[in-house]
Structure 1
Amino acid sequence: MSSAKVIRGASTELDAKVVELNVGGQFYTTTMGTLMKHPGSKFSEILSRSAKHYKDAQGRFFIDRPGTYFGPLLDYLRTGQVPTEYIPEVYQEAKFYQIHPLVKLLEDKPQIFGEQVARMQFLMGVPNYRENLEVLLHLARAEAVAMRSSKVVVCVVRTEEDDAKCTEPLHILEAKKTPVVKFGPWKAGPVTEDFVYCLEKDIRAKGYTVASQRYHLSRDPYTCFWILVFTWW
């Protein structure tokens, strides 16, 4: 019995130990018990003896992550309060620190659910989406030499039927030597307008200024062609 008391006492003393952190240049003070609240998090690795060389000049544990978003994360560890601001950023930090209960709570937030569960799951079903996106950006940059803006034609087909209908217009563009990046078809999910919105969102996330508009060929009644207009300056 006395041995058990000693173990519990040592554990309580360790939990109460004050820890100073330097997170990306912002300073935080908390306790070991708060940081170790959820077993399996990355804090056990960060605070281990082998991590001594990850300390700043004042002896604070240094974590090379954004300090701004650590505050809401630390508040969750202290009180269980789920963050209400910077949700996408705090979500990424919760994943980095492997605070799994907070990750699951944030995944129920509309900002994360819409992006991770709805939009990203849809795009994963579009064949070669990421590869074609990079081709599109390459063409946009190639067309931008000494120009304020550049345009790239994209063909977006949702179904196999739409794909077949767009064969002839694609041949017309090929004859005109107009480069086209083709997306789809996909098995199920949003319509082509929703896909173009997703495409613009991902392009803007990479720092580009872009807008879309319909591109009607004289013999294209199926409206599967769009122009993406990139503005450079």
Structure 2
Amino acid sequence: MERANEHAHSRDQLKRLAAERAVKLISPGMVVGLGVGSTAIHAIRKIGALLADGELHNIIGIPCSKAVAAEASRLGIPLSDLDEQPVVDLTIDGADEVDSQLNLIKGGGGALLREKMVAQASLREVIVVDEGKLSPQLGTLFALPVEVITFGWKSQARFLEQLGATVCLRRRVDGGPYLTDQNNYILDCTFGSIHDPEVLARHLEQRAGIVEHGLFLGLATDLIIAGTSGVRQMSVAR
């Protein structure tokens, strides 16, 4: 148990270092997307500390979930939204799975719709993960979250099963259905290795009742990886 605790602490420390590397990309005057997840929260806390110390100033945060908005507000980060700030200079977010082309599966934290909206509005999308999230092919490590409206959700589950998925309605700890910030359900869809994510994304986007899916294709510009050998960074041109 002690060794497991040490490993968890070490992993969290690496996540923190990777998140702080991402925060160094922020300059005064930027509009900054604030992502969701255990790694992204380290970035938000670092931003708050830099603002409090006066080392960073004149930034505006665009939170990707209500919970992130509450934490950022508590830390004194000025906040806005995409209505007021339609262009985001840089977003720092996490991911559940990342392939070699920096395509992602996201949505484990339940905020995939807002995260994708902010990502699409961002000039630079910086993804921070630990090396356990790296994958040879999307779907190998993580089920694909699909956000659906509550009306007729079982018909969406049948549609997804016809596409080859094993579908599970996400639930809260108390057993009730999990609700997103938009009061939708999430269906966690196990496809196995997804050989053509672009084709699957098109199928999902054409289906009425599916609000959004967790395939983030061609959106990430930078990947910062926390690993046993330290922190490393990759970038791609978009």
Interval of TM-score (by shorter of Structure 1 and Structure 2):
under 0.3
Q: Which has the higher helix share?
A: 1
TM-score, reference length from structure 1: 0.27
Q: Which has the higher strand share?
A: 2
Greater relative contact order, per chain length (Cα 8 Å cut-off, separation 6+): 2
